[in-house]
Structure 1
């Protein structure tokens, strides 16, 4: 499935979501049906109680004020024996009934408000947590597509839209049904002929609403997608602020954000333009119903003649009830526009939420994981090939699979416990990808990777990743204290364990020099620390994990020479009794490795020890000469290769 300019691979999963709001209730409402049920009942009682004052007033007007003793003091569904017969008693009864009805409205509206919010926010909380949990399970390939802004839109904007729908729209829809149904019943009970005049606009409103829902739905979908794209643009702009400033690209970034914001503005206006037609249209129809009731009822009352084909009489009290209840019906009918808005918004948002939920996870735990303990640390790659999956095909709903150009091809090597295998080569040769396959950040398409004889796809992910420590050149620190970041992943580690790990990573000295020591907050992404300090904390984190296999992806790339020598001493001690797979551009850091693999364009082109590779006078010897200062020889070798 290909994607249009306005779509992302993320959006493609949304297209296969069927009846998202029904699914929302089926999967998330059952645990909170108590709140929902109490809210619905309270809403019903409150709305019914709100109909009592007009009935009491109309009855009192006819029985007490207009024609005392001529009209019976009757109320629908109330036995006559319960009603007073004396005028003063009827008046007192009317006042008390009106006060009680308002109290009932207040009490049950409060109950409805509390329970409705508990229901809506509980569902929203569960949906948000489940969405985040799903995000944690997604393959790294999803995040390679840089859909972070889309995910943030799901976790924030879309769940908020659901809360508004569950809290406001559903209860307002229930209020509308109760009010229209209750008012219609009362009006037909009092005067079925005039009731037809009052309610003639309702079918027109229904047709108008169905048209609006059909036309506005795709516009809401585009509007929600534009929010995600704007979030992505803003996040990238903030994350790259340093680059923007150092390259004087502020105007360029402002223009890009402006374009994304304008796209969202245009999509939003597409929705609002329809709303500007629908909302006034609904209010106009409701107003016409009120005007028609006033016109026909007023003529009937003033002339004391039934208009047209109508028959019978109309009392002043009944006319007042009609006018009051017709006015009551105007507000809920006019509210239909907001209900539809919130419904369509929630439908688009729930499609995106379940689109995220339905993204397939390819890298997952096996059904029956192989036992890995105790971990020895033997690593074997057997004819491993890998290509990144084509995102456009992956976003499709079928089983069709396609891959981009091969990144790794026929990689084979062994690393015994305690050995160090180093990877060198030009940037983009595939070194980091090879080692990420061991962690199953991606899965191989061909070949097998084994740990202690087990295919890594047969090992539980938690066991595999606990056995393999990974220190990347792109270190990441969470906003928190230094101690928290070293302890990350091993949260029960003691303060003494943290300090021991920091010392092993040559980080203890600079940490204790800080004003708050291990309690120093590092800022978002560790911005308050230098690159070298961040890398030493990342190394300390791995030291604390004490893995059987250690991956060092240019772990000393951001430190000065002196610190590199200190860290290298710690690494030598750390790697003495464990399997180490190291990537380095500085060949001096890996010249003592047991095996050095030279990679070029996803393949191993040379392998051997440092001395063996120098003697072979190939690519490794050329790289070594360049770093050792023999630039003339290195340049000549590179020209011969070209």
Structure 2
């Protein structure tokens, strides 16, 4: 911007001196200048959509490249290198073609600017030489005039270049402003209040939720979770397990019903105060490309080293962290690539525990650990659950059996809710899941045999 203003001021000052030398010659030199700006105006109109296309295709090229780098192992496993290479070449060619269009357009318009500036200089010498011959203008004044015109060429060309750069910048800025100006799907109400210290009671009342209009994922969900209870959520893929727990921190808004925490409707409290009370360990773990210590302290950057170590011990992460030469200062790489799946999940658990949330959500958080480590984590989490309301999505039998209650979802509805023993006696969906995935068949024959034998005592 400073360069643009500098060039404009330089042009104004040069013409100020030119008018002082010879008014007629100055007007002659001005004849071609308007044409220069007219050509640049049409050039900008033509090149703006091309620059927009370049930015869009550049984004697509980067996305394709990143996808292939991140998914390199999958590509290799399926020997799909030729297809991905062809796909990349196609995307790269569309980017190349857009750039070639810009180069061709610039090659057409840019010479016109030089031609018009040269034409102005030629007109200057033509009329100026006539005035020198007629002794109405000295040769020195003509040469000085010519020198000023030469000085004018550079700022005029620079302004022309800036117009092109401006077009590119606006094309990129358009995409940025689209994101900045996009309205958040979930926002605080104007009169939202801070959620105070909570006990952890969670109530769902007639809750219905959908991602796509008229296609509900959850229908008429009703349950009450008391403070400190552990609730295991079970169901087939697509039954709505993750959707259910993600409604608690308001990742999505329900279309019907009410969700309350300690009788506070979650829509009436600020998102920040709500999410500060809810700790989540997601199934898809994301770690930042920094140290283990900084990843654990992500939610509390001012946490002391002692607190970080304590939560790492509770998450059974301290031992493997200390096995690294740099310990807690070990860099984990992009998305934690240098760590195993189980190690990443234990760091994620430690990160959540450091915030000391009153409500804990574990989305299959022990899915990547072995039985021994899962047992150790389970022992630590048992202690932590004493003062926390906990929701667990898992396929681990030990976690399910240790839950205070189990919610069984099927096709977006709660089909069964109760303890492990209560649900086994119902001989419903949970009983079927337990029989096929967890227990020997003989274990389920006992209730049936007792019923058939006329209610014999257990």
TM exceeding 0.5: yes
- What residue number does 1:599 align with? 409
Aligned in 2, Cα 1:332/1:518: closer, same or farther, shift over 3 Å? closer
Other-structure match for 2:326: 516
Aligned to 2:290: 480
Asked if 2 retains the 8 angstrom alpha-carbon contact of 1:279 and 1:334, the reply is no
Q: Residue 234 of structure 2 aligns to a residue in which SS?
A: strand
Using the alignment, how far apart are the partners of 1:496 and 1:211 within structure 2? Answer: 65
Q: Which residue of the other structure, out of 186, 194, 208, is the alignment partner of 1:385?
A: 208
The alignment partner of 1:605 has SS state of strand
CA shift, 1:606, in A, is 2.1
In structure 2, what is the Cα distance between the partners aligned to 1:419 and 1:519?
36
Is the counterpart of residue 229 in structure 1 residue 63 in structure 2?
no
In 1: Cα distance, 2:340 partner to 2:146 partner = 74
1:242–1:633 CA distance, 2 compared to 1 (3 A): farther
Q: 1:175 to 1:363 in 2, by over 3 A?
A: same
Partner Cα distance (1:298, 1:629) in 2: 107
Per-residue CA distance 1:286-314 (angstroms, 9 max, x = gap): 1111122223323443xx23xxxxxx612
Measured after TM superposition, the shift of residue 425 of structure 1 is: 1.0
Q: CA deviation at 1:371?
A: 4.3
Q: Which residue of 1 aligns with 2:102?
A: 271
For residues 78-135 of structure 1, give each alpha carbon's deviation from its aligned partner in whole angstroms, at most 9, with x where no partner exists: xxxxxxxxxxxxxxxxxxxxxxxxxxxxxxxxxxxxxxxxxxxxxxxxxxxxxxxxxx
Q: 1:494 to 1:282 in 2, by over 3 A?
A: same
1:445 and 2:255 equivalent?
yes
Q: TM-score, normalised by structure 1?
A: 0.66
CA distance in 1, matches of 2:3, 2:126: 30
In structure 2, the partner of 1:393 is none
Among candidates 137, 143, 156, match of residue 314 of structure 1? 137
CA distance in 2, matches of 1:486, 1:174: 49
Paired position in structure 1 for 2:171: 348
- Relative distance call for 1:355 and 1:631 in structure 2 (3 A) is farther
Q: 1:198 aligns with which of 24, 29, 36?
A: 29
Q: Per-residue CA shift, 1:206-253, capped at 9, x if unaligned?
A: 222222222222222222222222232233233323323333333333
Deviation at 1:265, TM superposition (A): 1.8
CA deviation profile, 1:548-595 (whole Å, cap 9, x unmatched): 111111111000111111111112121122211110122332123222
Q: Which residue of 1 aligns with 2:198?
A: 375
Shift, 1:484, TM fit = 1.9
Aligned-residue offset at 1:544: 2.0
Distance across 2 between alignment mates of 1:525 and 1:298 = 73
* Equivalent residues of 1:275, 1:337 under 8 A apart: no
Alpha-carbon shift at residue 619 of structure 1 (Å): 1.9
- Which residue matches 1:309? none
| Structure 2 residue aligned with 1:128 | none
> Which residue in 2 is equivalent to 1:252?
83
Deviates more, 1:328-337 or 1:466-475: 328-337
Distance in 2, matches of 1:518 and 1:323, equals: 70
Structural mapping, 1:257-336, within 5 Å:
257-301=88-132, 304-305=133-134, 313-336=136-159
1:201 shift after superposition: 0.6
Residues 347-395 of structure 1: CA distance to partner in whole angstroms, max 9, x if unpaired?
A: 2223223222211013223333334332100001112222226xxxxxx
Partner in structure 2 of residue 573 of structure 1: 383
In the TM superposition, what are the counterparts of 1:351-500 in structure 2 within 5 Å? 351-388=174-211, 403=213, 405-500=215-310
Cα displacement (A) at 1:418: 1.3
In 1, the alpha carbon distance for the partners of 2:412 and 2:9 equals 68
Indicate the residue corresponding to 2:431 in structure 1. Answer: 621
Alignment of 1:73-152 (within 5 A): none
Asked if structure 2 preserves the Cα contact closer than 8 Å seen for 1:470 and 1:542, the reply is yes
Gap change, CA 1:218 and 1:472, over 3 Å in 2? same
Q: 1:455 to 1:199 in 2, by over 3 A?
A: same
Contact residue 18 and residue 145 of structure 2 kept, 8 A = yes
Query: What is the rounded CA distance, in whole Å, between the counterparts of 1:206 and 1:373 in structure 2?
Result: 63
1:588 equivalent in alignment to 2:398: yes
Summarize the Cα distance change of 1:204–1:435 in structure 2 as closer, same or farther, 3 Å threshold.
same
Aligned-partner SS, 2:185 = coil
Seen in structure 2, the aligned counterparts of structure 1 residues 204 and 465 have a Cα distance that, compared at 3 Å, is same
SS state of the match for residue 277, structure 1? helix
Structure 2 vs 1, CA of residues 629 and 614 (structure 1 numbering), >3 Å: closer, same or farther?
closer
Measured in 2, the distance between the counterparts of 1:520 and 1:177 equals 54
RMSD of equivalent CA atoms? 2.3
Q: Any unmatched runs of 5+ in structure 2?
A: 445-458
- In the alignment, the residues of structure 2 paired with residue 255 and residue 525 of structure 1 have an alpha-carbon distance, to the nearest angstrom, of 28
Instruction: Tell me the secondary structure at the aligned position of residue 598 of structure 1.
Output: strand
Equivalent residues in 2 for 1:143-222, closer than 5 Å: 170-222=1-53
2:451 is matched with: none
Aligned positions, number: 444
Is the 1:478–1:526 contact (alpha carbons within 8 Å) kept by the matching residues of 2?
yes
More deviation, 330-339/618-627 = 330-339
- Provide the residue aligned with 1:547 in structure 2: 357
Note if 1:525 corresponds to 2:351: no
The answer to whether residue 369 in structure 2 is matched with residue 564 in structure 1 is no
SS of residue paired to 1:438: coil
Instruction: Give the conservation status (yes or no) of the 8 Å contact 1:297–1:319.
Output: yes
Give, in whole Å, the separation in 1 of the partners of 2:31 and 2:195: 74
Distance in 2 between residues matched to 1:177 and 1:520, nearest whole Å: 54
Residue 535 (1) aligns with residue 345 (2): yes
SS at match of 2:247: helix
